[in-house]
Amino acid sequence: MADLLTLDVIDNGQGGHRDLLFCIPDLIDDQEFDTYYFSFADEPLETIGDIKKAVSRLLQFWHNKISESKNGETIFLPIDFSDEYTGCLKVLHKDDQLVLTYGFSRREGYTVNPLNPEDYYKQITDFKAGSEKHLIVSQSVFISTLDIQIRKLEGETT
């Protein structure tokens, strides 16, 4: 069975560009995002391990906000921090299920703290879906998947 979500940071020598690999099968195909703005939020990030730990902090934020979300609530979880926009997951909490949609906001990535996007996750009003795809997953399964990815990024074995 394929993982619900895969995420990794690679050392590709491009200075924080196209080094965050992200995929949610059946929702968003393999993507290459930037970690460039992570370095401004938590300097100095000197090694690939430092960058991975910074990305794990973003996933921990996701974990916390999904765990705290209430039935009927919609939140937005950023992952793609670009100059002109942010790519994010729209997460609708419906009973014990999450309805995931991937898309974009025109909010510029440099205006968002990638380690703690507290001023982002409930304030997006211009979300535009990237496709017609939606994925419905159990809240507990998605949280467990995030835990696995966090441990992996922090260098722990699963």
CATH of domain 6-153: 3.30.2450
Instruction: Give the start-to-end residue ranges of the domains of the chain.
Output: 6-153
For residues 91 and 98, is the Cβ–Cβ distance under 8 A? yes
Q: Which two tokens stand for residue 2?
A: 């394929």
Strands of 4-73 (E only): list them.
6-9, 20-24, 28-33
Q: What is the pLDDT of residue 28?
A: 96
Q: What are the pLDDT digits (tens) for 63-96?
A: 999 999 999 999 999 999 999 999 999 999 999 9
Averaged pLDDT, 140-157 = 91
Cα–Cα distance measured from residue 98 to residue 12, given in angstroms and rounded to the nearest whole number: 33
Averaged pLDDT, 138-155 = 96
Say if residue 141's pLDDT is above 70. Answer: yes
Q: Comparing C-alpha atoms, which of 68, 98, 73, 86 is closest to residue 128?
A: 86
pTM here is 0.94
Q: Comparing C-alpha atoms, which of 49, 43, 121, 44 is closest to residue 79?
A: 121
Q: What are the pLDDT digits (tens) for 4-38?
A: 999 999 999 998 999 999 999 999 999 999 999 98
